[in-house]
Structure 1
Amino acid sequence: MTTGDAAPGLPADESGVRYDLDGPVATVTLSRPEVLNAQTPAMWAELSNISRKLPGDVRVVIVRGAGRSFSAGLDLSVARGEGDSSLVKLSQLSPDECADRIAGFQSAFTWLRNPSIVTIAAVQGHAIGAGFQLALNCDMRVLADDARFSMAEVTLGLVPDLGGTKRLTELVGPSRALEICLTGRRIPADEALALGLATAVVPVADLDGAVADLTAAVLAADRGAVAEIKALLAGAGQRSYDEQDRAEREAQTRRLRDLTETE
């Protein structure tokens, strides 16, 4: 196993993100357990950096949090501070500049939806706000039975803006998504499973093993087929039945050609 470098000038302990490679599996760990992995712009910069340096042979990316929680969300000391990314400083930018800055933050999350990789969030403890959205941007979420989701941005007078609202709506429907976002309530693991927010729920002690088993199952499947299936399912909500049928035909045609060429 090799450990990836942090962003230029920022050791892993300062960026707050650890990146490890083990063959076709990359593990990204939020590593600020002393503050329950509360997120900062420096962490988002490193997450974006990791997306750019992933080797082409990586097939699975596991996202996890060090310690007892996945992520307590936005670090409020940064949000309420005087830095360039504080809420006050962002509010002073022009609308276009503010939107561009947020687009940069979003890029730390949205790369996890890339069709060429399968992403798995291993969630224990709290996944609040930005933590919930980080998990939502992953393809699958394996939860320990102590996990709690919360879309808490509304408690700060803000909206979820890190790529989580569409996935949330797709998973639970618009009415339930609205209720979750407006109340900011904590969703326990068993309810998350019932709502479709969790792929599986396991005892805390079994979380690593469950994620390893799921990873092994993904790696056992043909890489090309995995990428095509992910793309088919990701676009299904925007297509009509006829359009989805056509997308299936085109994907299968590509698979048949690729399989024949490799024989």
Structure 2
Amino acid sequence: MTDRVSLTVRDGVADVRLNRPDKLNALDMATFEALAETADAVAAEPAVRAVVLSGEGRAFCAGLDFANFAAMAGDATAASGGDRLRRLMADVMEREPGRITNLGQQAVHGWRELPQPVIAAVHGHALGGGLQIALGADIRIVAPDAKLSVLEIRWGLVPDMTGTAALLRLVGEDVAKELTFTGRMVTGDEAVRLGLATRTAADPRAAALDMAREIAASSPDAIRAAKRLLNRAGDGGDLAGQYMEESRALAELRGSANQTEAVRAYFEKRPPAFTDPA
């Protein structure tokens, strides 16, 4: 996709990888842009039925590039990308055109708003913004010895890439506050116990790809409707509206080509042949 994020699609699974291994996939302006653009590209590809989001090299993502902290502090010798990042930090109140997010938030929210399920495979470090990217996925598979932290407090900041909303959804208010106030490091094992991650695996990416292939074998219509409904409920929609959305989704699915194919394939004891959404 770009030199910061790679994208390959095979058998309905989009394999998206942060591609800056020499910097532990640390976030610079180009990475923010690449993440948002890649999410848009995946959303526009109907043949993609599931997504795996991972990082090349020794880490998932170590957070904001240290060179950019120098730029934020006004170091004139900082990397050229620092000026662009300074502008981003200065313009955090600016929304992306037609969106509820700024660019940094969209680098995460783009994965949550995808119609396809997204599985983050986390190894090594997922710190600060790196953790928030993982929180934008629907499911997180982590290495037992992975290191995760809401690290922003170290820099006198707060989670600003949709992390505050995601933490509350996943771990509850008290744990979200503890992790945010202290910035303490948790392992993959503890992350699962807290609800910060879904489960552990010795090889998170292999496990995520296996799950993605399993999801891709199901009806894409039903999978997309399920994600839409669960996201809506997780975002605190009113119950009456949620129940109406469930009914609307069922009405659209029942008797559709893919729903009929799911039933026929089951009784005929064969793999289903689903049609991708238009």
TM range (shorter): 0.7 to 0.9
Q: What are the superposed Cα offsets for residues 33-55 of structure 1, whole Å, 9 maximum, x if unpaired?
A: 22211111101111122123232
Deviation at 1:262, TM superposition (A): 6.7
The one of the two structures with greater contact order (alpha-carbon pairs below 8 A, sep at least 6) is 2
Correspondence for 1:9: none
Correspondence for 1:66: 56
How do 1:113-132 and structure 2 match up within 5 A?
Answer: 113-132=112-131
How do 1:93-132 and structure 2 match up within 5 A?
Answer: 93=90, 97-100=91-94, 103-132=102-131
Correspondence for 1:210: 207
Distance 1:210 1:175, change over 3 A: same
The structure 1 residue matched to 2:244, chosen from 243, 246, 254, is 246
Distance 1:98 1:166, change over 3 A: closer
SS at match of 1:159: coil
Correspondence for 1:234: 231
Find out whether 1:178 has 2:177 as its counterpart. Answer: yes
Aligned CA RMSD, in angstroms, stands at 2.1
Q: Share of identical aligned residues, percent?
A: 36
SS at match of 1:84: helix
User: Residue 245 of structure 1 aligns to which amino acid in structure 2?
Assistant: Y
Distance 1:122 1:261, change over 3 A: closer
TM-score (norm 2): 0.81
Correspondence for 2:158: 159
Correspondence for 2:271: none
CA distance in 1, matches of 2:255, 2:248: 11
Correspondence for 1:21: 9
Number of corresponding residues: 244
SS at match of 1:80: helix
Q: What are the ranges of 5 or more consecutive residues in structure 1 without an aligned counterpart?
A: 7-11
Moved more, 119-128 or 47-56: 47-56
Q: Is 1:115–1:231's contact at 8 Å kept on the other side of the alignment?
A: no
Deviation at 1:242, TM superposition (A): 3.5
CA distance in 2, matches of 1:139, 1:244: 19
CA distance in 1, matches of 2:15, 2:169: 26
Deviation at 1:232, TM superposition (A): 1.1
CA distance in 2, matches of 1:162, 1:61: 20
Q: Is 1:19–1:27's contact at 8 Å kept on the other side of the alignment?
A: yes
Deviation at 1:190, TM superposition (A): 1.2
User: Residue 58 of structure 2 aligns to which amino acid in structure 1?
Assistant: R
Deviation at 1:243, TM superposition (A): 3.3
CA distance in 2, matches of 1:248, 1:115: 19
Distance 1:23 1:260, change over 3 A: closer
TM-score (norm 1): 0.85
Find out whether 1:32 has 2:20 as its counterpart. Answer: yes
Q: What are the superposed Cα offsets for residues 227-261 of structure 1, whole Å, 9 maximum, x if unpaired?
A: 11111111114234433322222211111153489
CA distance in 2, matches of 1:212, 1:260: 23
Q: What are the ranges of 5 or more consecutive residues in structure 2 without an aligned counterpart?
A: 77-81, 96-100, 262-278
